[in-house]
Amino acid sequence: RIMITGALGQIGSELTVKLREAYGSANVLATDVRTNDSQAAKDGPFEILDVMDGNKMAEIAARHQADTIIHMAALLSATAEANPVFAWNLNMGGLMNALETARDRNAKFFTPSSIGAFGPSTPKDDTPQDTIQRPTTMYGVNKVAGELLADYYFHRFGVDTRGLRFPGLISYVTPPGGGTTDYAVEIYYEAIKNGSYTSYIDRGTYMDMMYMPDALQAIIDLMEADGSRLKHRNAFNVTAMSFDPEGIAASIKKELPGFTLSYNVDPVRQKIADSWPNSIDATAAKEEWGFKATYDLDAMTKDMLAKLETKLNKQNA
Residues that bind ligand VAH (CB under 6 A): 76-77, 114-116, 139, 166-169, 179-181
Q: Which of 23, 139, 206, 295 is catalytic?
A: 139
- In whole angstroms, what is the distance from residue 98 CA to residue 113 CA? 15
- In whole angstroms, what is the distance from residue 284 CA to residue 231 CA? 9
The residue among 118 and 197 lying less far from ligand VAH, judged by its C-beta, is 118
The residue among 44 and 176 lying less far from ligand VAH, judged by its C-beta, is 176
200 in catalytic set: no
The residue among 101 and 242 lying less far from ligand VAH, judged by its C-beta, is 242
Contact present, 129 and 180 (Cβ < 8 Å): no
Query: What is the smallest separation between the CB atom of 178 and ligand VAH, expressed in angstroms?
Result: 7
The residue among 166 and 291 lying less far from ligand VAH, judged by its C-beta, is 166
b/e 151-190 (16+ beta carbons within 10 angstroms → b): bebbeeeebbbbbbbbbbbbbbebebebbbbbbbbebbbb
Query: What is the smallest separation between the CB atom of 269 and ligand VAH, expressed in angstroms?
Result: 8
- In whole angstroms, what is the distance from residue 151 CA to residue 157 CA? 10
- Give the phi and the psi of residue 266 in degrees, each rounded to 5: -90, 110
- In whole angstroms, what is the distance from residue 208 CA to residue 185 CA? 13
Query: What is the smallest separation between the CB atom of 66 and ligand VAH, expressed in angstroms?
Result: 25
- In whole angstroms, what is the distance from residue 273 CA to residue 275 CA? 5
The residue number with the shortest CB distance to ligand VAH is 179
Query: What is the smallest separation between the CB atom of 213 and ligand VAH, expressed in angstroms?
Result: 16
- In whole angstroms, what is the distance from residue 101 CA to residue 61 CA? 7
Report, as residue numbers or ranges, the catalytic residues: 139
